[in-house]
Amino acid sequence: MDWLTDPEEDVLIHSAATFATGMAPAVSGQRWFRDTGRNDMQGELVSAGWPPGPDNTPRTAGNKASRRVGGALASALALVTSLVLNENNVGSGDDKPEDPENEVDDFPVMWAAPGTLARTLPWQLDPARRPKSYITDLVITNHRLLFVGSELGLLEHADVLCELPLDALAEARHMQFSKLEADVRLTFADRSWVRLFTGARNSAERLEQMHSGTVRMLSANALTEGQQREAARFCTGKPKTSYPPTYAMLPSGTVLMEVRSPSKFTAGCFDVAVNLMDETGGRTGPQPGDPSVP
């Protein structure tokens, strides 16, 4: 990858990354950027160099009711289509908001006081501000956390938009009340945070599990010879648009391999092919004590 200039730096995990979008009726399809007083700070971001973005307003009761009727029909059709065509789970978690203040009544995707780390993240993460063809990804290596972007959607040729030291990240929380259950909230050491859509539930889960220590992410170089052979076999025939595999050591010692490919049916979403390997590279199944794998 062009931006990996240190031979001792290894990519541990990567996922799509865009500012998330509200699901509840009042905030559906919208997002806000808030300071710690819950004031809209979009004007401050534009003054700091961001392109202008839309001014969103929470919907009124009448507006919400009409949208629910039309949205229900569209959602039902989308759900049936996704169930037939896409192996990933769809929906919005168990439809129970975890953080109603920030998921039902309001939907901030950035919560940041002046001068905090969240405000340093790139404007290209906002789908409303960037070209439709532009793709952004979150990458965590053994040295740093990066946000990269590319017109072609090719991780290996992406440009670095922002980088932070690993200790800047204080928490990664999987937020299940979201499209595909694929949102993650990243909280930084200064308590500022952002909410991102990762394109696949697997990606959001793995980010949380990696940061909590539930799983240990591995570089490809850390695999045994048998695992490397099985990984090469598993990648054979995968779409040319697939991203490089990621590897997680589960508590049992099983290695979870995941290959992310852009969905053929839903823009911005990803299908994830999963392979479980033992130490020799032999294919295995779920083991007691390991987190569930979709």
What digits encode the pLDDT tens for the residues 170-183? 999 999 999 999 99
- Return the structure tokens found at 292: 């569930």
Q: How many CB atoms lie within 10 A of CB 244?
A: 13
Give the pLDDT mean for 207-229.
Answer: 97
What digits encode the pLDDT tens for the residues 258-284? 999 999 888 899 999 999 999 999 999
pLDDT level of residue 94 (50, 70, 90 thresholds): low
What digits encode the pLDDT tens for the residues 133-143? 999 999 999 99
What does pLDDT average to over the chain?
Answer: 89
pLDDT level of residue 2 (50, 70, 90 thresholds): confident
Q: Are 219 and 254 spatial neighbours (Cβ–Cβ below 8 Å)?
A: no
| pTM listed for this prediction | 0.88
How far is 156 from 148, CA to CA, in rounded Å? 10
pLDDT level of residue 61 (50, 70, 90 thresholds): low
According to the model, what pLDDT value does residue 78 have? Answer: 39
Alpha helices in the chain (DSSP H): 42-47, 61-85, 100-103, 201-212, 225-235
- For residue 236, pLDDT over 60 is answered with yes
pLDDT level of residue 6 (50, 70, 90 thresholds): confident
- For residue 58, pLDDT over 90 is answered with no
Q: Give just the sign of the alpha carbon dihedral 257, 262, 264, 267.
A: positive
Q: How are strands ordered across the β-sheet holding 246-249? A: 216-218, 246-249, 255-262, 270-277
